Amino acid sequence: MELWLDAASGKGGTLNPHPADRVLLAAGDRIPDWIDSALFACEDGRILDSSTAPVGVHVDISDAEGQDAAKSMVGLVSWIVLTTGNWQMIPLENIVAAAQGTGTHLVARINTSQAIRGAAFALETGVDGLLLPANQAEIWADAQIIAAERLAVQSEGDEGALEDDSEITTVEIQSIEDGGVGDRVCVDLTSILEVGEGLLIGSSANALMLVHGETLESQFVPPRPFRVNAGAVHAYVLMADGSTKYLSELLAGDSVAVCNSTGVSRNAVIGRMKIESRPFLLIRYTHSESGITGQIFLQQAETVRLISPLGDMPSVTSVEVGDMLLGFIGTSARHIGQNVLSISEER
């Protein structure tokens, strides 16, 4: 994590030699002889390097409009300098989540020592730099200490670097319990599901179960080949872009990932959500290779089906402890549905 010296605000007085990684000057300022890595802040928000080439932007994320503006620049520039308002951590975390893996680096403007640790460890990975005020020795001392802590934590974690999310895999049922009564969501799509297709659903974003669509014939009810009886409102569902949403958040027009036993195969648009109070079964399951456990609340109904590794589609009312079913196991945490390089446990 880099420490930047803020010499662009005009509040630092005389600019003395300083062991900063980079120095941010105001556009038009002369570069002192002791500065090796100078950047320039323009009044229009652009950040230029010493050759006046644009390398980044400054964005005020003190409101939702600013947060959206910062997200829109992710992947387009090398650096985004972020200024927060009364809400500091949540906006920072949102931008950290959006920027991971994009090549865009984040710098948080810091005005107090209390703000340093939160920015440095936001979503565990933190920002890539801190913009610190000139002539504030206490803030710089605290920042150097926390930067060293961040480096130590990252070095310890190198051996256990997170792997990419896996594809469809096998999980084993550990228990089946009465799940009480709650609000159940049916996801109705604008396209027909094939036999063997469904949605990935679960109470934990890294341990989803493949829930089959209502495509099978029955002597009691007609099929609904556009529908997945997806479970309780709190559950996650895998979206078309690889993110997750809560079932309660889904709206007509959203795109979800329709999967079969080989993995994500295509995208489908939601035409309607149907939410009703129904009795649930609570199914707990484990992925033996990773040790990751998950759970899912599904309506206690014969038409709700899962998928086995052999291609069978057993009803949720007929599965038993020890049965093997298909699911999706991931190793990364989620923040507002996005994969983030941090550790999270959901039970």
Q: Per-residue pLDDT tens for 279-305?
A: 999 999 999 988 899 999 999 999 999
Dist. CA 66–CA 71, nearest whole Å: 9
Domain, as residue range, for 233: 168-340
Q: Tens digit of pLDDT for each residue in 58-84? A: 999 999 999 999 999 988 899 999 998
Q: Is the pLDDT of residue 264 over 60?
A: no
Between residues 36 and 278, which one has the greater pLDDT?
278
pLDDT of residue 79: 93
Assign residue 28 a region (left: φ > 0; alpha: ψ between -120 and 50; beta: otherwise).
left
Q: For residue 231, which of 261, 275, 294, 289 has the smallest C-alpha distance? A: 275
Q: Is the pLDDT of residue 20 over 90?
A: no
Residue 252 maps to a domain: yes
Q: What is the CATH number of the domain that holds 281?
A: 2.170.16
Dump strand ranges (E) for 115-254. 129-133, 168-189, 198-204, 207-212, 227-232, 236-238, 244-246
Q: In terms of domains, do 203 and 264 share one?
A: yes
Q: Tens digit of pLDDT for each residue in 88-112? A: 888 888 888 888 878 899 999 998 9
The model's confidence at residue 218, banded by pLDDT at 50, 70 and 90, is confident
Q: In terms of domains, do 260 and 184 share one?
A: yes
Q: In terms of domains, do 119 and 187 share one?
A: no
Q: In terms of domains, do 305 and 186 share one?
A: yes
The domain total for the chain is 2
Between residues 219 and 44, which one has the greater pLDDT?
44
pLDDT of residue 228: 97
Pick from 70-84, 86-100, 225-239, 244-258: least confident: 86-100
Where is the domain boundary, 97, 128, 160? Answer: 160
Q: For residue 306, which of 323, 292, 291 has the smallest C-alpha distance? A: 323
The model's confidence at residue 86, banded by pLDDT at 50, 70 and 90, is confident
Q: In terms of domains, do 218 and 235 share one?
A: yes
Q: In terms of domains, do 150 and 220 share one?
A: no
Helix (H) or strand (E) holding 148: helix 137-157
Q: Tens digit of pLDDT for each residue in 143-158? A: 998 888 887 766 554 3
pLDDT of residue 186: 97
Amino acid, single-letter form, for residue 207: A
Dist. CA 196–CA 307, nearest whole Å: 7
pLDDT of residue 51: 87
Structure tokens at 206: 């890294």
Residue 121 maps to a domain: yes
Q: In terms of domains, do 50 and 155 share one?
A: yes
Q: Is the pLDDT of residue 161 over 50?
A: no
Residue 347 maps to a domain: no
Q: In terms of domains, do 329 and 184 share one?
A: yes
Mean pLDDT of 220-226: 90
Where is the domain boundary, 141, 160, 179? Answer: 160
Q: In terms of domains, do 175 and 270 share one?
A: yes
Q: Is the pLDDT of residue 162 over 50?
A: no
Residue 6 maps to a domain: yes
Dist. CA 132–CA 112, nearest whole Å: 9
Q: For residue 84, which of 119, 51, 56 has the smallest C-alpha distance? A: 119
Dist. CA 99–CA 127, nearest whole Å: 10
DSSP assignment of 92-147, as one string? Answer: HHHHHHHHTTSS-EEEEE--STHHHHHHHTTTTT--SEEEEETT-HHHHHHHHHHH
The model's confidence at residue 183, banded by pLDDT at 50, 70 and 90, is very high
Residues 6+ away with beta carbon under 8 Å from 153: none
Residue 346 maps to a domain: no
pLDDT of residue 13: 55
Mean pLDDT of 4-31: 79
Where is the domain boundary, 160, 180, 203? Answer: 160
